[in-house]
Amino acid sequence: MSTRVFVARLVGLTVFDPLGDRVGRVRDVVVVFGKNPSPRVIGLVVEVVQRRRVFLPLTRVTSIDAGKVITTGLVNMRRFEQRHNETLVCAELFDRQVTVREPDGETFTGTVEDMAMEQNQRRDWDMTKVFVRAQEQSSGASRAMHRLTRRRTGSTSLHDIRDVYGLNRQHTEQSAERLLETYDDLRVEDLAEVIHDLTPKRRAEVARALDDGTLADLLEELPEDDQVEIIAALDTERAADVLEAMEPDDAADLLGDLPPETAEDLLQRMEPADAAPLRRLLTYDENTAGGLMTTEPAILGPEATIAEALAVVRREEVAPALASAVFVVRPPLEVPTGRFLGMVHTQRLLREPPHTSLGNVVDSTVDPVNVDAPLGEVTRTLAQYNLVSLPVVDDDGRLLGAVTVDDVLDHILPEDWREERHDFRQDKTFPGVTQ
| Domain edge (last residue) among 130, 165, 200 | 165
Task: Give the residue-averaged pLDDT of 45-59.
Answer: 90
Long-range contacts of 180-188 (CB under 8 A, 24+ apart): 180/206, 180/209, 180/210, 181/150, 182/8, 182/11, 182/90, 182/94, 183/27, 183/90, 185/12, 188/214, 188/217, 188/218, 188/221
Q: At 52, which CATH number? A: 2.30.30.240
pLDDT in tens, 111-150: 999 999 999 888 889 999 999 999 876 545 444 444 444 5
Regarding whether 383 and 305 lie in a shared domain, the answer is yes
In a domain, 344, yes or no: yes
Q: At 324, which CATH number? A: 3.10.580.10
Regarding whether 71 and 129 lie in a shared domain, the answer is no
Q: Residue 98 pairs with which residues in a beta bridge?
A: 110
Neighbours of 38 (CB within 10 A): 19
In a domain, 318, yes or no: yes
- pLDDT in the model for residue 425: 42
Average pLDDT, whole number, for the chain? 88
Task: Give the residue-averaged pLDDT of 104-109.
Answer: 92
Regarding whether 388 and 322 lie in a shared domain, the answer is yes
pLDDT in tens, 226-256: 999 999 999 999 999 999 999 999 999 999 9
Residue 369 has pLDDT above 50, yes or no: yes
- Neighbouring residues of 187: CB distance < 8 A, sequence distance ≥ 6: none
- pLDDT in the model for residue 359: 96
pLDDT grade, residue 94 (50/70/90)?
Answer: very high
In a domain, 248, yes or no: no
- pLDDT in the model for residue 189: 87
Regarding whether 403 and 308 lie in a shared domain, the answer is yes
pLDDT in tens, 370-421: 999 999 999 999 999 999 999 999 999 999 999 999 989 988 887 666 665 5
Question: HSE of 276 in the Cβ direction (CA atoms, 13 Å)?
Answer: 8
> Strand (E) positions, 120-234?
125-134, 156-160, 164-165
Number of domains in the chain: 3
Regarding whether 97 and 77 lie in a shared domain, the answer is no
Q: Say what angle helices 224-233 and 248-257 make with each other, to 10 degrees.
A: 80
CA atoms of 301 and 246, how far apart (whole Å): 26
| Domain edge (last residue) among 109, 142, 165 | 165
One-letter identity of residue 422: H
CA atoms of 212 and 232, how far apart (whole Å): 15
Decide the pairing of beta strands 399-404 and 125-134: unpaired
In a domain, 160, yes or no: yes
Regarding whether 384 and 304 lie in a shared domain, the answer is yes
- pLDDT in the model for residue 375: 94
In a domain, 422, yes or no: no
Decide the pairing of beta strands 340-345 and 369-370: unpaired
Task: Give the residue-averaged pLDDT of 339-361.
Answer: 96
In a domain, 392, yes or no: yes
| Domain edge (last residue) among 36, 66, 89 | 89
Give me the DSSP letters along 87-115: EEIIIIITT-EEEEE-TTS-EEEEEEEEE
In a domain, 254, yes or no: no
pLDDT in tens, 145-203: 444 445 567 899 999 999 999 998 766 778 888 888 888 888 898 899 889 888 898 99
Residue 424 has pLDDT above 60, yes or no: no
In a domain, 113, yes or no: yes
Residue 2 has pLDDT above 70, yes or no: no
Residue 268 has pLDDT above 90, yes or no: yes
- Give the number of residues written for the chain: 435
Burial annotation 315-329 (CB, 10 A radius, 16+ → b, else e): eeeeeebbbbbbbbb
Burial of residue 406, with CB atoms counted within 10 A of its CB: 0-12 exposed, 13-18 middle, 19 or more buried? middle
Burial of residue 385, with CB atoms counted within 10 A of its CB: 0-12 exposed, 13-18 middle, 19 or more buried? middle
Least confident of 60-69, 276-285, 354-363, 372-381: 60-69
Regarding whether 362 and 304 lie in a shared domain, the answer is yes
Regarding whether 382 and 319 lie in a shared domain, the answer is yes
CA atoms of 17 and 62, how far apart (whole Å): 10
Regarding whether 147 and 83 lie in a shared domain, the answer is no
CA atoms of 393 and 401, how far apart (whole Å): 7
- Neighbouring residues of 418: CB distance < 8 A, sequence distance ≥ 6: 196, 221, 222, 223
Residue 219 has pLDDT above 90, yes or no: yes
pLDDT grade, residue 432 (50/70/90)?
Answer: very low
Regarding whether 138 and 38 lie in a shared domain, the answer is no
- pLDDT in the model for residue 137: 60
CA atoms of 276 and 40, how far apart (whole Å): 54
| Domain around 118 | 92-165
- pLDDT in the model for residue 309: 97
Regarding whether 98 and 57 lie in a shared domain, the answer is no
Task: Give the residue-averaged pLDDT of 87-102.
Answer: 94
- pLDDT in the model for residue 197: 85
Regarding whether 140 and 43 lie in a shared domain, the answer is no
The pTM is what? 0.78
